A and B are shown apart, each in its own frame.
Chain A
Amino acid sequence: MLAQPLMKGSPVQVSPFDVERLRRDFPILRTSVRGKPLIYLDNAATTQKPQVMIDALRRYYEAQNANIHRGVHYLSELGTKLYEDVRQKAKDFVRADDWREVIFVKGTTEAINLVASTYGRSRVNEGDEIVISGMEHHSNIVPWQMLCGEKNAKLRVIPLNDAGELLLDEYERLLTPTTRLVAVAHVSNALGTVNPLRQIIAMAHAKGIPVLVDGAQAVPHMKVDVRELDCDFYAFSAHKMYGPTGIGILYGKSSFLQDMPPYQGGGDMIKSVTFEKTLFNDLPYKFEAGTPNIADTIAFGATLDYLQSLDWTTLTQYEHDLLTYATEQLTEIRGLKVIGTAREKAGVLSFTLENIHPHDIGTILDQEGIAVRTGHHCAQPVMIRYDVPATVRASFAFYNTREEVDALVRGIHKVVEVFA
């Protein structure tokens, strides 16, 4: 167990992949729910938090709290340093070129809204088109729909095949001289599909079209390299990758960010203000008005240190094997249908049971201490595509085990028993 909070520059190597050891880093995994040990399979909604992050959050409020960026006193300077260090850590985590390309936001949703209301509003005009995919979360649909409504532009949607994979030949046809942006998920939250991003991005770039990636479901499961992907924007949330709620990252290529108008006006995003004219601040502060979420950002830094200490090659392999095992075990249950069978998947196993509504399944599993998601997963168009009102979604993290999958299988058999 990582008893002491990790200091910057001192990553602890944990290898080979030892799930029992890693589970001890997450205090909630020792708790019980309804008299049963918690089996937490709702990681795509939010992951659990390591002790080092919880400690960092507490330490900030107990010993470090002050406002940042302007104070000359000790705590303000300390807070500023801790806060800005996290920007570096986030930059390193997604392998960006420059810390100025890392903008702190509330989460993925705000990151996408930021791009829609700055890049979108200044570059999209009547008759232009925005291309999204048929597997997007509502947060990567609605901001573009609102923008299109305002500008009289068109929203075009890349269709999916029955397995939940994007149809790239259809996508190619959607890229036209009036396409202003492609906005697409790295990993689908409802289906688990990992999209072939490099190809998607290269196809758009060949026609001079920038690409925004919703990376919320990818960063917890795989090492992301924004330079290798060559994406123009990459959005993700801390709380879905073992960090606190209320903080997220928008990565953007500085060539785009430089030219974009500010997002919100206020303190911190300015160089000087008179009633006649305001000079906007440089990157990244131009996009960060007001006192930011200092505490959670600093706590997120502890999460990033923790994640950097893990061996991601074994972690990714472990998660992949666990998802394969879960898929095999669940598929054997009579009447169970997996929704989303793409060749490349990560983290998510969505399913339905014949004649039993997902809500009833969720309630019965909950009695077994098993937390799954039931519903449309903020992806109603996906539900419509597969003609289901809802699904049950078991979503995994590296701390989940085969024993937990077995418990899920037993739980589903109980569901079937109740409704037999």
Chain B
Amino acid sequence: MPADELRSLYQEIILEHNKNPRNFRVMADADVTLEGYNPLCGDHYTVYLKIEGEVVKDVSFKGSGCAISKASASVMSTMVKGKTRQEAERLFDRFHALVTGKPDQSVNLDEIGSMAAFAGVSEFPARVKCASLAWHTLHAALENKQEAITTE
């Protein structure tokens, strides 16, 4: 790969999730379905949630976009599945801080797991929206927003 900077953005984990996105499917019996759209570059995903009580039992997504947005959606789906709403929201906060370059000092690497691969995004301001799209859509879905999310 060309430059160190670039390697910090396109981590192996990101390239791998982009190639083989997890939970990349329509969920016919989803309890919550919400669209996320990044008009600037055309990233467009739908996030599906299956919720039982306070627990997000299942997460999936479908759509198209750049490698960063797709890998981020994939990682999000694996991390949030089985978490409570509160835990999911906490992960959203963590991710947001990570990609906007404000990582919490007390951040526990075990807790953020694969999410850590996105730390390099903060060096690429134009790409923060790509990385955040699925997470913002999740956040809005958990708050029962009905309208499609856009990053603009």
Q: Is B148 an interface residue when CB atoms closer than 8 A count as contact? A: no
Q: Would you call A3 an interface residue if the criterion is a C-beta within 8 Å of the partner chain's C-beta atoms?
A: no
Cβ–Cβ contact A360 & B44, under 8 A: no
Chain A residue nearest to B19 in the complex (CB)? A419
Which listed residue (B3, B44, B65) contacts A34, Cβ 8 A?
A: B3
Q: Tell me whether B42 and A375 are in contact (CB under 8 A).
A: yes
Q: How far is the CA of A390 from the CA of B37 in the complex (A)?
A: 13
Interface string of B36-74 (1 = CB under 8 A from A): 000011111000000000000000000011111000000
Q: Is A368 an interface residue (CB 8 A)?
A: yes
Task: Please tell me if the beta carbons of B3 and A360 are within 8 angstroms of each other in the complex.
Answer: no
User: Given A360-B68, A367-B3, A368-B2, are A418 and B15 neighbors across the interface (CB < 8 Å)?
Assistant: yes
A402 within 8 A of B: no
Interfacial residues of chain A within 350-394, with CB under 8 A of chain B in the complex? 356-360, 363-364, 367-368, 374-376, 383, 389-390
The residue that B66 contacts in the complex, of A359, A368, A417, with Cβ under 8 A, is A359
Residue on B with the closest CB to A36? Answer: B3
B1 interfacial by beta-carbon distance below 8 Å: yes
Is there an interface contact between A363 and B126, defined as CB atoms closer than 8 Å?
yes
Cβ of A414 under 8 Å from chain B: yes
Given contacts A34-B5, A357-B65, A360-B66, contact A389 B127 (CB under 8 A): no
Given A360-B67, A367-B6, the answer on whether A374 and B41 have CB atoms closer than 8 Å is: yes
Residues on A with C-beta less than 8 A from B18 are: 419
Interface size on B, residues (CB 8 A): 23
Q: How far is the CA of A414 from the CA of B1 in the complex (A)?
A: 8
Interface secondary structure of B, over-half rule = mixed
Q: How far is the CB of B17 from the nearest CB of chain A, in Å?
A: 13
What string of 1s and 0s marks CB contacts (under 8 Å) between B63-98 and chain A? 011111000000000000000000000000000000
Contacts of A368 in B (CB 8 A): 2
Residue contact A418 to B10, C-beta cutoff 8 Å: yes
Q: Which residues of B contact A375 (CB under 8 A)?
A: 40-42
With a cutoff of 8 Å between Cβ atoms, the chain B residues found around residue A357 in the complex are: 41, 43, 65-67
A419 contacts which chain B residues (CB < 8 A)? Answer: 15, 18, 67
| A-contacting residues, B121-152, CB 8 Å | 124, 126-127, 130
Bound CA–CA A368/B6 (angstroms): 10
A364 touches B127 (CB 8 A): no
Interface string of A11-35 (1 = CB under 8 A from B): 0000000000000000000000010
Nearest chain B CB to A320 CB, angstrom units: 31
Rounded to whole angstroms, the CA-CA distance of A414 and B7 in the bound complex is 12
Answer whether residue B27 sits at the interface, using C-beta atoms and an 8 A cutoff: no
Q: Is B115 an interface residue (CB 8 A)?
A: no
Instruction: Say yes or no: is B34 at the interface (Cβ < 8 Å to chain A).
Output: no
Asked if A363 contacts B65 (CB within 8 A), the reply is no
Among B1, B42, B126, which residue has its beta carbon within 8 angstroms of that of A383?
Answer: B42
**A365 → chain B, closest Cβ, in Å?**
10
Q: Is the CB of B65 within 8 A of A389?
A: yes
List chain A residues, Cβ under 8 A from B127: 359, 363
Please tell me if B117 contacts chain A, counting CB pairs below 8 Å: no
Partner of B1, one of A356, A358, A363, A417: A417
Report whether B41 and A389 are in contact in the complex, using a CB–CB cutoff of 8 Å: yes
Chain A nearest CB from B146 CB (Å) reads: 24
A363, A376, A383 — most chain B CB neighbours (10 Å): A363
Q: Given the complex of chains A and B, what is the CA–CA distance between A34 and B9 in angstroms?
A: 15
- Report the bound CA distance from A233 to B41 in whole Å: 33
Top 5 nearest A-B pairs by Cβ distance? A389-B42, A357-B66, A359-B66, A359-B41, A390-B42
Task: Give chain A's interface residues, CB within 8 Å of chain B.
Answer: 34, 356-360, 363-364, 367-368, 374-376, 383, 389-390, 414, 417-419
Residues on B lying within 8 angstroms of A by beta carbon are 1-3, 5-6, 9-10, 15, 18, 40-44, 64-68, 124, 126-127, 130
A sample of 16 more A-B contacts (CB under 8 A), given A356-B67, A357-B67, A418-B2, is: A34-B5, A357-B65, A358-B66, A360-B68, A364-B2, A367-B2, A367-B3, A367-B5, A374-B41, A389-B41, A389-B42, A389-B43, A389-B65, A418-B6, A418-B10, A419-B15
